[in-house]
Structures are given as C-alpha cells and as structure tokens.
Structure 1
Amino acid sequence: MQISRLFQIVHILLEKGRVTAPELAERFEVSARTIYRDAEVLSQAGVPIYTLQGKGGGISVSDQFVLNKSLLTDQEQNEILFSLQSLSAARLPDSDKVLLKLSSLFRKNSANWIEVDFSPWGSGQQQKELYALLKQAILEHKIISFAYLNAAGEQENRSAVPMKLLFKDRAWYVEAYSIEKEAPRTFKITRMSQVSLSDRDESELPRLPQQRMENAGTSHEESPAEAMPRIPLVLRIEPAGASRIVDEFKEEQIVKQEDGSFWIASEMPDGEWLFQYLLSYGELLEVIEPASIRQEMQRRIAEMFRNYLG
C-alpha cells in the first residue's frame, strides 16, 4: 500500500507542482505525519522532494525529476504501462494522458506492445463519451438519468447512482443504485440511451445503504445468465458451428458424432435470452431436449417463415 501511495504522491506533485501535507493526507486518508514520513522515504530513495514551511508552502518535487529504478524496477514500470493500456482499451480517455506522461517519465520509446480492446466493432465517439460520463458519475457520486430498454423490449425512464463498470460475458454493464427500485441494479450499457449527468449527488437521496454494492451483482435489469433459473438442454450443432462451440461450451459438455456434428449437454438460463441465443445459430442448431423448448423453437421459426410469405 505504501509503495502505491508513494508513486501516486510523486505523480500528484509532478502534476500540480506543490501540494500541502494536509491536502495529501486527506486525499489518502492518512495523517499529515504519515505524509511527511512518505516524503522522507522518497527523499532517501533519491527523489528530489522539497518542503517549504509557512504560508504558500507545501511539498514539491523537482520538475526535472524522472522516475527511475530506484523507485520502480523496469518490470514494474512495464506492468504499470500495460495496466494503463488496458484502462485505455476500456475507453477511459484520461488514461491516455497518464499513459503518455508516464511513458515519457519512464523513458520508454514504445510501451504499446500489446492491444486490449473490449469495444465493439464500429463503435463511435458517442459511445466513448458515454464511458467518460459514467466514469465522472462514479467518481463524483452523481445521479444519472437515462432511457433503458429492458429484456421485455420496453423502454423506461430510469435514474441511478453508478457505482462500478463491469465487463462480463463479452458485454459492458454498470452496477448502480436504482432510485426507482431503491436497491442495487445492474444495467447493460448498450441498452442505455439519452444518458445525462444530474447536478444532484447521492447525498441528496433519502436513503442509500452503506453496503449498497455488497450484493449489487445479484439483481439485474438485463438479467444475465447467472441470475436466472437454468434449464437442462441437449443440442445438436452442425460441424460449421465448431468455432462457436469451443468458445461457448465446456469441453466436457461436447460430444463429437461420427458425421462430424456435435451433441451438447448443458444448462442455460430460462427466458427470452435463451431463444435469442439458440436462434443466433440459425440452421446450424437443433434442440433435441427438452420438448417444451423444441416446440417453442418450432413455433418461433414458423412465425419467422410466415413473415416472408407473399
């Protein structure tokens, strides 16, 4: 913890020039005495830290200072830069500025040796701005208002206090405290629109549980797979679906047949999500069991066929 705090103190000093010990103490929730001890540790490590007493004084570091191996090893520097690349891939725009600054401080000519990109193909500036807005709301404990398309295809006006961004099962979610439900909820970001940041913050709410995020992942507006009752299924999938099979099912659930097709024995969440998922395989998939799911698939496919008649 101290190493992380030391690194952050240096970054703050390089960013702001001069900061008082009480300001740093409040920032890191420690005493001013601890901050002065940290400054002494940094000084002993070779970081040119200066303290100035009296009005207008504070703690500062030489503008010419460059973080070096006396504070962080070369491997640690690379790990920090890679972590920032991951944040940048998550479309947190401020991380690009920090990455550029630290690359310069570490004297790394090219830190971008790997790319991690969670964003969907074709995503534009509007979606990037949404992530920046959600980040601001989380850090400042602000209330957001938005339109939300629920799993039933109905659009609702909602308001919530975002707590955390979550990437799960190839999709981004925001864990938030729902004002309407007065409980934690998880919203799928692609189903959010018309998102706006309110001037109000969580302190203005009549009640907001202290442990509001403890069970935030258990109640979902989007209803991800793990939050719903599960149904045992037996599926037959044609050989052309092999690439999806290895991505989406466990090895022990897959049995390859002599004709090259695959039989899948798995459990999947009940509800509309299930049929949308099964239909995404098109003609490559056949539901063998249970009979109720097979019959519903037949009904839906027949309805789709009628849409193209005439």
Structure 2
Amino acid sequence: MRAGRLLSLLLLLQTRGRMTAQELADELEVSVRTVYRDVEALSAAGVPVYADRGPAGGYRLLDGYRTRLTGLTGEEAESLFFAGMPGPAAELGLGTVVAAAQLKVLAALPPELRSRAGRIRERFHLDAGGWFRQSEEMPFLADIADAVWNPVTLRLRYRRWGGQVVERTVGPLGLVLKAGLWYLVADSDGQPRTYRVARVEALEPTGEPFHRPETFDLATFWAEWSKRFEERMYPERVTVKVTEAGLRAARALLSLAASRALESVVPQGEWTTVEIPTESLDHALVDLLRLGPEAEVVAPLELRERIKARIGATALRYRDSDSS
C-alpha cells in the first residue's frame, strides 16, 4: 500500500509541479507527517525531490526529471479502453489519434495487462448516442474543438430553437457531449452560454486570442446549467391523488422529472397526494390520462375539468359505437 502511495506522490509532483505538504496530504488523504516520511523515502531511493522554503515553497522534482513508471494495475489498464469512445472521438477528428494512443499503451503494458485490456475492447462497446434519433450533421465540430483547445474567439451564425438565426462572437470555454448531442459552452458578452453544435450554420475563427477565465469550471457550470434547463422545461406543477398502483405507473410512464419528484414519495393509505412537474397543461392532460382510474387531478381546476371532458367524450364515443 505504501509503495502505491509513493508512486502517486511522485506522479503528482511530475504532473502538477510544486506542491505543498498540505496539498499532497489532501490529495493522498494522509497526514502531513506521513507526507514528510514519504518524501524522505523517495529521496533515499534516489528520486530528486527538493523542498523550497518560504511562504510560496513546497516540494518539487528536479527540472527535467521524468519517470516512465506508471504502476498500472489490471483494473486501471482495463479502464483505459473504456475512455476511448470511438464515435465521439471520430466526430472530433481524433479517431486515428485515439487508436494510435491505445496501440502505444498496449505495447508498453506487460503481457498479462495487455491481454486484460484487449478483452475489454472485445467484450464491451460504448454507444453514447440516444435511441430513436439519427446522428446530427455537425460540419463545424472539429473546428470548434480546435478553437477550444487553442483558444481563439469565434464568429458564428446560429439557429435558435424557434428557428431565428442570430450572429454571435463568442469565446469557447468547452465542449460537452450529452446523450449523443454536442454542446459548445462559450463566453458571450461576459456570460457563459450554451449552443447546440448541430445548429451552428456558419463559423469563422477571428484570429483573436481568447483568454479563458482561470476560475471557470466546465463540469460545475454544466451541472448548474442542466438543473436550470430542466426546471425551465417543466415550469408547471399539478397536484394529483394517486393509488399505490398509480404511483408505480407514474414513476414508470411519466417524464424523468416526474419520476425524480416521486422517487421518495411513500404511499399514505388508499390515496396519496403528490405534486408532479410538467411542461404544460397540454402535456399533463395526455400524460395523466395514461394513469386511468389510478389517478385523480386535484389542481389546477382547469386541468381537472379538461380531463373530465376528455373522459366524458371518450365514454360517449364508445356508447354511441355500441348502439350503432
């Protein structure tokens, strides 16, 4: 266990440069005293670790020192081949690069790990796309990825959701692949905004460098933006009484947002009153009719009356059919 920790400490210094004892302790989840002992052990083994004194000090490796030792375990070697999704890599123009990198990693692995990594490619396939959707045309994805990697501002013509076409000059902050769809997160007028790459109709790099804010974190932004997006998609709330069977059906048949809202609900007797998010009353009308007699709308009154009218019209249609 200590050998693995020493290797992790060495690789941290190699990849991040100077780090304080406290930073190393936090990363390795050990005490500062343990870091001191580990650094001494590395030095005794001939690894050129140096301590810089003072407020801005810390530990660092001798300039130019690199180790080729990675200490890959079997599970780590296998996991490398889960990361190389061929579809998204090809869309970014990196398909051949990923393949070449995998070949180099395989060549460097000992025979046993090479065999285990090879079995991953044979027996597992990652498909990031969604069901029942054709792949989108994205002629500018590779250019956008290049601008993200080598930050330059972009001038783009973009088709918004309602069909309106606008022109924007943006600074690329990152690319996100969500359910098979690519999104560009970019700075526009000082605010991070999200653009669906398939809706970019024209693109031109301006040649002007874009200075990416050091404090911007793509994963954090995307998590917060996704939450706000889901809330905007389901702005309405309806109050419904459901039976236990109706609660199970609602979790299975309604939207993911509704399923999440009902996830922690515990049935209370014969009927349980719940609040369900929905895109609109029109969507709620169709969705709640699927639950049949296992659900009764309490509010809003407009939706309750519309469901009564729809059920009445359906019953009348069947009654007229029986008499003909």
TM range (shorter): 0.5 to 0.7
| Superposition deviation, residue 163 in structure 1 | 1.2
How many percent identity over aligned positions?
A: 14
2:142 aligned with 1:132, yes or no?
yes
What RMSD, in angstroms, separates the aligned Cα atoms of the two structures? 5.0
Q: Which residue of structure 1 aligns with residue 322 of structure 2?
A: none
CA contact (8 A) 2:91 2:141 kept: yes
* CA–CA separation in structure 1 for the residues paired with 2:179 and 2:142: 22
* CA–CA separation in structure 1 for the residues paired with 2:300 and 2:204: 48
CA contact (8 A) 1:89 1:115 kept: no
CA contact (8 A) 1:186 1:216 kept: no
Q: 1:288 aligns with which of 290, 297, 314?
A: 297
TM-score by length of 1: 0.53
Larger radius of gyration: 2
What letter corresponds to residue 165 of structure 2 in structure 1?
Q
Q: Deviations over 1:58-81 (max 9, x none)?
A: xxxxxxxxxxxx742332211112
SS of the equivalent of 1:82 reads helix
What letter corresponds to residue 162 of structure 1 in structure 2?
P
What letter corresponds to residue 132 of structure 1 in structure 2?
A
| Superposition deviation, residue 35 in structure 1 | 5.3
Q: Which residue of structure 2 aligns with residue 185 of structure 1?
A: 193
Number of equivalent positions:
233
Q: Which residue of structure 2 aligns with residue 79 of structure 1?
A: 79
Q: Which residue of structure 2 aligns with residue 224 of structure 1?
A: 229
| Superposition deviation, residue 135 in structure 1 | 1.8
* CA–CA separation in structure 2 for the residues paired with 1:195 and 1:222: 29
Q: Which residue of structure 1 aligns with residue 170 of structure 2?
A: 160
CA contact (8 A) 2:89 2:98 kept: no
| Superposition deviation, residue 82 in structure 1 | 1.2
Taking a change above 3 Å as real, the CA distance of residues 225 and 243 of structure 1, as seen in their structure-2 partners, is same
TM-score by length of 2: 0.51
SS of the equivalent of 2:264 reads helix
SS of the equivalent of 1:36 reads coil
Taking a change above 3 Å as real, the CA distance of residues 91 and 125 of structure 1, as seen in their structure-2 partners, is same
| Superposition deviation, residue 84 in structure 1 | 2.0
Q: Deviations over 1:178-204 (max 9, x none)?
A: 1xx3311123445x231424142444x
Larger fraction in helix: 2
Residues 1-310 of structure 1 mapped to structure 2, 5 A cutoff: 3=11, 34=62, 36-38=64-66, 41-42=67-68, 45=69, 71-85=71-85, 88=88, 91-95=91-95, 97-103=97-103, 104-105=106-107, 106=109, 107=114, 108-112=117-121, 113-120=123-130, 121-124=132-135, 126-127=137-138, 129-144=139-154, 145-150=156-161, 154-167=164-177, 172-178=182-188, 181-190=189-198, 192-203=199-210, 211=215, 216-217=221-222, 224-226=229-231, 230-235=235-240, 243-245=252-254, 247-248=256-257, 249-250=259-260, 251-253=263-265, 265-267=275-277, 273-274=279-280, 278=284, 281=287, 284=290, 288=297, 290-291=299-300, 294=303
* CA–CA separation in structure 2 for the residues paired with 1:86 and 1:257: 51
Taking a change above 3 Å as real, the CA distance of residues 109 and 223 of structure 1, as seen in their structure-2 partners, is closer
| Superposition deviation, residue 98 in structure 1 | 2.0
SS of the equivalent of 1:184 reads strand
Q: Which residue of structure 1 aligns with residue 28 of structure 2?
A: none
What letter corresponds to residue 82 of structure 2 in structure 1?
F
CA contact (8 A) 1:185 1:216 kept: no
